[in-house]
Every structure is written in C-alpha cells, then in structure tokens.
A and B are shown apart, each in its own frame.
Chain A
Amino acid sequence: DQQVKQNSPSLSVQEGRISILNCDYTNSMFDYFLWYKKYPAEGPTFLISISSIKDKNEDGRFTVFLNKSAKHLSLHIVPSQPGDSAVYFCAAIPSGTYKYIFGTGTRLKVLA
C-alpha cells in the first residue's frame, strides 16, 4: 500500500529550464510534506517542506506547491542546473505521528 506515489521514475530537463517533479498521496491525514534530494552513495538531504495549511512555499530556486483537493504535491526548480541532477523523494507525515512516509523517488537529469 503505497501512500505516497511518485509516478515518474525519471525526468530529463535542459539546463536553465524548469524542472517539475510530482507526487501524489492517498492519506488525507498527512499534515506535513517534505522534499529530499539524494546523490549516489550519500544519504538524502532535506530540500524544502510545506505544511498542509499552506499551498505554496518558496526557497530560492525551489518552490513546493500543495493541492489538497487533488492530493497532489509538486516541486519546481527554476532555473535547473546540472548540480540538481539527483534522485528526489517526496515524504509526508500523518497527523499525530512521528513517521515520515516516503515516495519511490524520481531521478532528475539536468542536461548541460
């Protein structure tokens, strides 16, 4: 039972263009969402988060959008850079718990 889904295993984008990574979830009790970035042979690192009471959060080149009615989360990276090439995981936290539930990841390749 995959509660957090990333349906695109991979994505290629030209340098300077926008990268859009998507995440869908099934549990309406999630109240916090996060994006992590992972390079090979390293642990995931935190990128950006959003509370369920908001619909947008920005941090530099990274913006996360939350559409609660559609149970959909997206991460926008503008402009994309070659150093952004990594696997991106979305994660969600059910209300009242301490469990971070992760999606399956999307491999982003930014072409120079």
Chain B
Amino acid sequence: NAGVTQTPKFRILKIGQSMTLQCAQDMNHNYMYWYRQDPGMGLKLIYYSVGAGITDKGEVPNGYNVSRSTTEDFPLRLELAAPSQTSVYFCASSYRGGGTNSPLHFGNGTRLTVT
C-alpha cells in the first residue's frame, strides 16, 4: 500500500516555465489537497477537491491550477513559474474530509526551486 505518492521529488524551473506536480493515492480517498510549505510559514492550502470533477480554492490559489478527473489523481499545474513559487509542495488525502475523525495522509513532498 503506497499511500500518497508525489512526483517528482525535486525540480528546478526557470522563470516563466510551466510544470505539473503529480499526486496519486491508492486509498480510495475522496478528499485531496495541495499545500505549500515555506520556511517559518507553516502549511498553506492551495487547492482541494472533495471528489472527482470537483475542486475549490484554498488560501493561496493564485498562480496554480488543478484538475481531478479520477479519484486517485490530483495534479497541480504551475503555468508561469515565478520565484515566489519556490517552496515545498505537499499533496494529502483523507477519507471523509474536515470535521470528522479522518486525518490527512501526506505524500513526501516535491521541492521546487524557481530561478
């Protein structure tokens, strides 16, 4: 049971380039999330999804896009990379979503540097 798998682990982008961060889970979880972690700033929610075909913005969605065509996959797209997007990105999933005893399961992160 792999849990939440994120690829790639590391990436360096030039300003203006695009890329997709991949996230897949094999736990049949309905709810999936993307967070970014900046030094001293904790984890900020970028986007989340409550099921296939349904996505919604979190605290810091600008500069990102997501899609959820299947239950298993929740890719995060950066269209025009900027230095402010240098961060560690974490994907997470849960069975029931917030407000219930259903904690988030996290992947090991993607470290992205934009120069």
Contact = CB atoms under 8 A, between A and B. Distances in A.
Interface of A: 4, 6, 9, 31-32, 34, 36, 41-46, 49, 51, 89, 91, 93-105
B35 A102 contact: yes
A91 B43 CA distance: 9
Nearest to B58: A99
B30 to A, nearest CB: 10
A98 B97 contact: yes
Contacts of A31: 99
Q: How large is the interface on B (under 10, 10 to 19, 20 to 34, 35 or more residues)?
A: 20 to 34
B98 interface: yes
A96 B108 contact: no
B13 interface: no
Given A31-B99, A98-B97, 19 more contacts: A32-B98, A34-B103, A41-B109, A43-B4, A43-B109, A49-B103, A51-B101, A95-B99, A97-B98, A97-B99, A99-B58, A100-B33, A100-B45, A100-B104, A101-B45, A102-B35, A103-B42, A104-B40, A105-B42
A94 B45 CA distance: 13
A43 B90 contact: yes
A98 B108 CA distance: 21
21 contacts: A31-B99, A34-B104, A41-B108, A42-B108, A42-B109, A43-B92, A43-B109, A44-B106, A46-B104, A46-B105, A91-B104, A94-B98, A95-B99, A96-B99, A98-B97, A98-B98, A99-B48, A100-B104, A102-B42, A103-B42, A105-B42
B43 A43 contact: no
A16 B98 CA distance: 34
Interface of B: 4, 31, 33, 35, 40-45, 48, 50, 58-59, 90, 92, 97-101, 103-109
Contact of B99 (A41, A43, A91, A93): A93
B32 to A, nearest CB: 10
Contacts of B41: 104
Nearest first, the 8 closest Cβ-Cβ pairs linking A and B are: A43-B106, A93-B98, A46-B103, A98-B97, A104-B42, A102-B43, A98-B98, A102-B42
